[in-house]
A = this chain, B = another copy of it.
Amino acid sequence: MNSCSETIDDEQRHAAARSLSVAQSPSDGMSLIAPQPGSDYYRAVMPTDIPDRALELRTEVTPEASVRVFLEEVDVPRPVGGQVLVRVEAAPINPSDLGLLLAGADPAQVRKEGTPERPVLTAPLRPEAFRAVGARVGLAMPAGNEGAGTVVAAGADAGSAALVGRTVAVAGGSMYSQYRLAASGECLVLPDGTTARDGASWFVNPMTVLGMIETMRAEGHSALVHTAAASNLGQMLQRACLEDGIPLVNVVRSEAQAAILSGIGATHVCDSSRDDFMTSLTTAVTEASATLGFDAIGGGPMANRILTAMELAASAGAPYSRYGSAVHKQVYLYGRLDRNPTELTREYGMAWGIGGWLLPNFLAKAGPETVTRMRDRVAAGLTTTFASSYTSTVDLAGVLDPAALATYGRQATGQKYLVLPNG
User: Interface of A with B (CB < 8 Å)?
Assistant: 4, 8, 10-11, 14-15, 96, 99-100, 133-136, 139, 298-299, 304, 318-323, 326, 330, 333-334, 336, 341-346, 349-358, 360-361, 364
Q: Could you tell me if A355 and B354 are in contact, using CB atoms closer than 8 angstroms?
A: yes
Q: Could you tell me if B346 and A336 are in contact, using CB atoms closer than 8 angstroms?
A: yes
Measured CB to CB, the nearest residue on chain B to A365 is B328
Known: A135-B319, A322-B10. A4 touches B341 (CB 8 A): no
Measured CB to CB, the nearest residue on chain B to A133 is B320
The copy count of this chain in the complex is: 2
Q: Could you tell me if B346 and A333 are in contact, using CB atoms closer than 8 angstroms?
A: yes
Q: Could you tell me if A354 and B351 are in contact, using CB atoms closer than 8 angstroms?
A: no
Q: Could you tell me if B14 and A320 are in contact, using CB atoms closer than 8 angstroms?
A: yes
Q: How far does the alpha carbon of A334 sit from the alpha carbon of B346 in the complex, in Å?
A: 11
Q: Could you tell me if A320 and B353 are in contact, using CB atoms closer than 8 angstroms?
A: no
A136 contacts across to B, CB distance below 8 A: 320
A320 contacts across to B, CB distance below 8 A: 10-11, 14, 133-136, 139
Q: How far does the alpha carbon of A228 sit from the alpha carbon of B320 in the complex, in Å?
A: 29
Q: How far does the alpha carbon of A96 sit from the alpha carbon of B352 in the complex, in Å?
A: 19
Q: Could you tell me if B342 and A344 are in contact, using CB atoms closer than 8 angstroms?
A: yes
**Closest 4 CB pairs between A and B?**
A135-B320, A353-B355, A350-B356, A350-B358
Q: Contacting A345 at CB < 8 Å: which of B11, B15, B341, B356? A: B341
Q: How far does the alpha carbon of A349 sit from the alpha carbon of B99 in the complex, in Å?
A: 14
CB distance from A363 to the nearest CB of B (A): 11
Known: A299-B346, A350-B356, A352-B355. A322 touches B361 (CB 8 A): no
Pairs across A and B, CB under 8 Å, 26 listed? A8-B322, A8-B323, A10-B322, A10-B323, A11-B318, A14-B319, A15-B319, A133-B320, A134-B320, A135-B319, A136-B320, A304-B341, A323-B358, A323-B360, A326-B364, A333-B346, A341-B345, A344-B344, A344-B354, A350-B361, A351-B356, A351-B358, A351-B361, A353-B355, A353-B356, A355-B355
